[in-house]
Amino acid sequence: MKDPKLRELDERAFLRRLNPILRVYAAAMRPPEDQLPGRNTIMARHARHPRFRALVAEEPARLPGRAGRIAGFCYGFRGCGGQWWHDVVYRELERLGGPEHADRWMADSFEVAELHVRPDAQGRGLGRALLTAACEGREEATVVLSTLDLDPESPARRLYRSVGLTDLFTGFAFPGGGPPYAVMGGALPLAAYRPASSSS
């Protein structure tokens, strides 16, 4: 694999490349095949959220004028009331710490909805580069996201901790079923990188 370069995609370019982006998602997350059409619909909806920003890590094109293969991607947007994830997380934070606590994290938040790197490209700094670039220069005060809560030392949990994100709550079952999630948050700009400390 040649060195991938980061490229920002606007909403239209993101939608045009949704199929290869979904293939990266499928390779990284290995969801049941029948969940992919629904994921496609959700990602297409996300692209219309306010201040949407998407980045891909793209390998050099093999043919002139063609797009290169996508090794990883990250996208997010401004969180607002009326968005499903935002409202669910807001309610849980409010339940745990009251409305001020929920507002502190969610009232002016950049929500990172997806970050995935193809398995054969993992462990080479692409995930960190994508996350850092997505959060760079954002106007929001906080960054919030959810990630699988099966292993507190997973690459994703360690990556997020290394730039200052902490657990807002863990073991959370989003409505509709599925595995437990940790919701994590941090201040923007991201903290300077520190090697991930253990969570225990």
Ligand X SMILES: CC(C)(COP(=O)(O)OP(=O)(O)OC[C@H]1O[C@@H](n2cnc3c(N)ncnc32)[C@H](O)[C@@H]1OP(=O)(O)O)[C@@H](O)C(=O)NCCC(=O)NCCS
Residues noted as catalytic: 160
Closest residue to bound ligand X by CB: 127
Contact status: 196 vs ligand X (CB under 6 A): yes
Measured between its terminal Cα atoms, the distance across the chain in Å is: 36
Residue among 83, 109, 142, 162 that touches ligand X (CB under 6 A):
162
Strand 70-78's sheet: what is its strand order?
Answer: 5-9, 53-58, 70-78, 109-117, 142-148, 181-187, 166-172
Task: Name the segment binding ligand X (CB under 6 A); options: 13-21, 38-46, 85-93, 158-166.
Answer: 158-166
Contact status: 195 vs ligand X (CB under 6 A): yes
Between 15 and 133, CB nearer to ligand X: 133
Residue among 28, 55, 70, 144 that touches ligand X (CB under 6 A):
28
Contact status: 155 vs ligand X (CB under 6 A): yes
Long-range contacts of 145-148 (CB under 8 A, 24+ apart): 145/76, 145/111, 145/112, 145/113, 145/115, 145/183, 145/184, 145/185, 146/85, 146/89, 146/172, 146/174, 146/181, 146/182, 146/183, 146/184, 147/181, 147/182, 147/184, 148/179, 148/180, 148/181, 148/182
Task: Name the segment binding ligand X (CB under 6 A); options: 4-12, 39-47, 86-94, 112-120.
Answer: 112-120
Between 28 and 47, CB nearer to ligand X: 28
Phi, psi of 125 (to 5 degrees): 95, 0
Decide the pairing of beta strands 109-117 and 142-148.
parallel
Instruction: Annotate each residue in 116-145 with x if it binds ligand X (CB under 6 A) or - if it does not, as one string.
Output: xx----xxxxxxx-----------------
Contact status: 26 vs ligand X (CB under 6 A): no
Tell me how far, at minimum, the Cβ of 195 lies from ligand X, in Å. Answer: 6
- Residues binding ligand X (CB under 6 A): 28-29, 115-117, 122-128, 147, 155-156, 158-159, 162, 195-196
